[in-house]
């Protein structure tokens, strides 16, 4: 049995006619018919019932042809992967990003990506760190932009950039009288943070004083945009990564900010991928493209 045999039986199933099936496969009808008979003999089953009324696929034939179609699709994917390896900037690429990065970073490189790599089709996925890491490990994702270094031996990463944290507070807040600000200037229990599961929450807590927690445990924000709107409503203050400061908030929101002066008030951003991923060239090209589009508010690695 070979892939050509699978092409033949799928063609007959599609056309319900040996002559038309042979034409679609660019072989003579005797060649196609003879090869299918050999395959039936090899398998010990009848795939097609032949009569003067036409051709009918048998029940076992339906099952086998269904598997044959899957095998043909898998073979095509293998060819596509091989072709992509020859040209790493062609084909499909799945890219994951955490929610505190995706809406701010993607607009900085997506247009340039389409121009620089026209043969590449990128599928984006936004999710929390744990799920993106899992998707990388099981092959659902090719690469991911994360704010934590790889913890699994099978993963590696390119350092993209580091971005400082900014303290965001409502207009009229006492922090507005400070020339600079650090977390020691923030009142106890006045910090609004993301819900658990977001790595940015853990990073923000790491520079807060031990006594400081998320002030209102009933406010379970799952996005930076929610936190920003809560701050604008006078519910507290929050920490925001540098790229999010380019969010284009309207002047009517009445927000003010200070870049934090605390040691370690920044995060490192990585482009993470599997060590055995065959298209390392695509990953490196993507990293360079992302870095080229970064603003001065972050530090390129």
pLDDT at residue 215, rounded to an integer? 47
Q: Are 93 and 121 in contact (CB under 8 A)?
A: yes
The Cα 3–Cα 18 span in angstroms is: 18
Domains of the chain by range and CATH? 3-86 (1.10.10.10), 91-301 (3.40.190.290)
DSSP state of 215: S
**Block residue for tokens 């039936």:** 40
**Block residue for tokens 């598997």:** 67
CA-based nearest residue to 191, from 215, 208, 170: 215
**Tokens found for residue 36:** 């299918």
Q: Are 26 and 41 in contact (CB under 8 A)?
A: no
pLDDT at residue 198, rounded to an integer? 64
DSSP labels for 68-115? HHHHHHHHHHHHHHHHHHHSTTSEEEEEEE-TTTHHHHHHHHHHHHHH
Q: Where are the alpha helices (DSSP H) in the chain?
A: 3-15, 18-25, 29-43, 59-86, 102-116, 129-137, 199-207, 224-232, 280-292
Helices (H) and strands (E) in the chain, counts: 9, 11
Q: Are 257 and 165 in contact (CB under 8 A)?
A: no
Q: Where are the alpha helices (DSSP H) in 138-279?
A: 199-207, 224-232
pLDDT at residue 20, rounded to an integer? 94
**Block residue for tokens 């199933």:** 13
Beta-strand pair 155-170/299-300: antiparallel
pLDDT mean for each 10 residues of the chain (301 residues):
93 93 94 95 94 90 94 82 78 92 94 93 94 92 95 96 92 86 78 72 64 48 82 87 78 84 90 91 95 94 88
Q: pTM of this prediction?
A: 0.68
pLDDT at residue 174, rounded to an integer? 86
């Amino acid at each position: 049995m070979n892939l050509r045999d699978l092409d033949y039986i799928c063609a007959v199933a599609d056309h319900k006619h040996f002559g038309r099936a042979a034409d679609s496969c660019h072989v003579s009808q005797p060649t196609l018919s003879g090869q299918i008979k050999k395959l039936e003999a090899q398998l010990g089953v009848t795939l097609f019932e032949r009569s003067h009324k036409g051709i009918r696929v048998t029940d076992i034939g339906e099952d086998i042809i269904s598997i044959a179609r899957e095998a043909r699709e898998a073979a095509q994917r293998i060819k596509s992967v091989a072709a992509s390896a020859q040209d790493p900037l062609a084909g499909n690429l799945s890219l994951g990003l955490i929610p505190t990065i995706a809406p701010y970073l993607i607009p900085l490189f997506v247009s340039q990506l389409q121009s620089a790599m026209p043969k590449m089709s990128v599928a984006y996925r936004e999710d929390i760190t744990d799920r993106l890491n899992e998707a990388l490990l099981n092959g659902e994702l090719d690469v991911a932009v994360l704010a934590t270094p790889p913890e699994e031996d099978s993963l590696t990463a390119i350092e993209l950039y580091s971005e400082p944290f900014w303290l965001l507070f409502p207009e009229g807040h006492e922090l507005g009288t400070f020339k600079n600000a650090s977390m020691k200037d923030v009142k106890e229990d006045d910090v609004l943070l993301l819900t658990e599961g977001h790595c940015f929450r853990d990073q923000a807590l790491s520079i807060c004083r031990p006594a400081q927690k998320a002030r209102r445990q009933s406010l379970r924000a799952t996005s930076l945009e929610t936190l920003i709107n809560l701050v604008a409503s006078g519910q507290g203050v929050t920490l925001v990564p540098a790229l999010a400061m380019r969010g284009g908030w309207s002047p009517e929101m009445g927000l003010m900010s200070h870049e934090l002066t605390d040691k370690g008030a920044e995060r490192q951003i990585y482009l993470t991928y599997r060590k055995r991923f065959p298209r390392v060239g695509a990953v490196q090209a993507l990293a360079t493209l992302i870095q080229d589009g970064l603003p001065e508010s972050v530090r390129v690695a």
